[in-house]
A and B are shown apart, each in its own frame.
Chain A
Amino acid sequence: MTARFDELIHPRPRLDIVSLLAAADWVEFGFLRDRLALSDSALSKQLSTLEEAGYVDLKRAATGRRRRVQARLTVAGRTAFEGHVAALRAMVDAAAARAVG
């Protein structure tokens, strides 16, 4: 995995959103909203940003009277997330090495 710091993913709450999506095949909008304590509009805005970047795929479906939105990471999103985590680990490891040396 190539370490690559991702400016789009890093800011909260996008890092929270992408981290949740990274551990799942898909996550419902309601789960993200409740876990991250965001309003519908705030979460929609962040998901739209990630969708425009090609990191997240949103699937909208109507079941009965409810509209459901499922979010999933795209391949590009997963690659970017893994690269970002690798970059964060490299920063922490480098700081630890400097502290020891």
Chain B
Amino acid sequence: MDNVSPGQASEALETVERARRQVIDQIHVPTWYWWGLAVGWIGLGLLTDLGSAWLAALATFVFGTVHASVAPRVVSGRHGSRQLSVRGDVAPHVARLVLGGVVVLAAATVGLALLAQADGARHPVTAASIVVAVVLVLGGPLLLGGVRRRAVRRARRPA
């Protein structure tokens, strides 16, 4: 230890931070998840506008079931790479952020659909779903980018 200068200690700390960033870069929710959500969202919107309540209810149940079975494996972002598993404390709350975002977007779909209906749109739910689907496909990766930046900032803070 006596042979290590403060400069060398500082370099070693940079090495530690760089390695952590390399792992943080692997936090990833697959693109197919966002696209699958978007396509399902538009499909549900279309079915709702078709006016068949039981069909829309059935489709919503199927969509929810499929999502509930797939989401736990992918939304944490920790298993985005097959080469490693990111520790939960490196990027906490990713699943909560993603699923919270989905809930907010569901509420936004209802709000947008009501606005579109008031404006006299022929297919208000479909129109609202398309807008939300675009937000999902474009916003999902942006959200993960934000998560990675936040994880890097957390890593810079001394323990």
Contacts and interface: CB of A to CB of B under 8 A. Distances in A.
B143 to A, nearest CB: 21
Contacts of B85: 24-26
A8 B26 CA distance: 27
Interface string A10-42: 101001100110111111101100010000000
Chain A interface residue number, banded: 20 to 34
B19 interface: yes
Contacts of B10: 88, 92
Nearest to A27: B84
A25 B159 contact: no
A82 B13 CA distance: 11
**B interface residue count range (under 10 / 10 to 19 / 20 to 34 / 35 or more):** 20 to 34
B54 to A, nearest CB: 44
B120 interface: no
A7 B2 CA distance: 11
Interface string A55-91: 0000000000000000000000000001001111101
Interface of B: 1, 4, 6, 9-10, 12-13, 15-16, 18-20, 22-24, 78, 81-87, 90, 158-159
Given A15-B16, A23-B20, A88-B16, 20 more contacts: A12-B15, A16-B15, A19-B18, A19-B19, A23-B19, A23-B23, A23-B86, A23-B90, A24-B90, A25-B86, A28-B83, A28-B84, A30-B83, A31-B81, A82-B159, A85-B16, A88-B9, A89-B13, A92-B13, A96-B6
